[in-house]
Chain A
Amino acid sequence: KQEVTQIPAALSVPEGENLVLNCSFTDSAIYNLQWFRQDPGKGLTSLLLIQSSQREQTSGRLNASLDKSSGRSTLYIAASQPGDSATYLCAVGSPYNTDKLIFGTGTRLQVFP
């Protein structure tokens, strides 16, 4: 059964730092991996989608990489800002699970001025 883990669970950094958030999955047979952002009490905003055949995707200050063989993805946030404060979730689409998406537990990020 596919399991998704995110480390660290929480992170607090000063503005301007470059950050790396980690996502691990136990079964390398995935269709894709998607990173989301969630503000408190709100829905999920899609940040980046990486297909299983891709190694990375970039959008503005965000870069996500995927290493299927090691079961890992990282989300790199450059020059962090207070507006980046949110919970970041990764999710995988897996062919051997009935779940549409399997989510990690999230990393709660706080960027202070």
Chain B
Amino acid sequence: KAGVTQTPRYLIKTRGQQVTLSCSPISGHRSVSWYQQTPGQGLQFLFEYFSETQRNKGNFPGRFSGRQFSNSRSEMNVSTLELGDSALYLCASSPTDSLNTEAFFGQGTRLTVV
């Protein structure tokens, strides 16, 4: 069974640009969550999608958005990139949106904003 797949693995963008990251969950999983990891802030929750609906959202500005498709694949978008958006972006999939299910993470997308 394939794991969580994130593409691309690496990205370099310029300040002010926008970027779209993709996450394909484990087959059969319907919940996808996104996290940002930086050396200073650690791992922080961005948002969760389940059945194409955003269920929860972390404390991030509106420049960060996402969506989920009918096949459970998810994308997150960051507009008007800032230097501080440089981070490892991780996505996790779970079978359901229940808070007591195990989360499985992808390898992440390393975003560098210059």
Contacts and interface: CB of A to CB of B under 8 A. Distances in A.
Contacts of B99: 31-32, 93-95, 100
A41 B88 contact: yes
B42 A105 contact: yes
A102 B103 contact: no
A98 B58 contact: yes
For chain B, the bracket of interface size reads: 20 to 34
A43 B107 contact: yes
Interface in B48-88: 48, 56-58, 88
Given A44-B105, A93-B99, A99 B42 contact: no
A36 B105 contact: yes
Contact of A43 (B44, B57, B105): B105
A75 B108 CA distance: 25
B90 interface: yes
A106 B40 CA distance: 12
A106 B39 CA distance: 11
Contacts of B105: 36, 43-46
A100 B48 contact: yes
A44 B90 contact: yes
B95 interface: no
Given A43-B90, A100-B48, A103-B43, A34 B106 contact: no
Interface of A: 31-32, 34, 36, 41-46, 49, 51-52, 89, 91, 93-95, 98-106
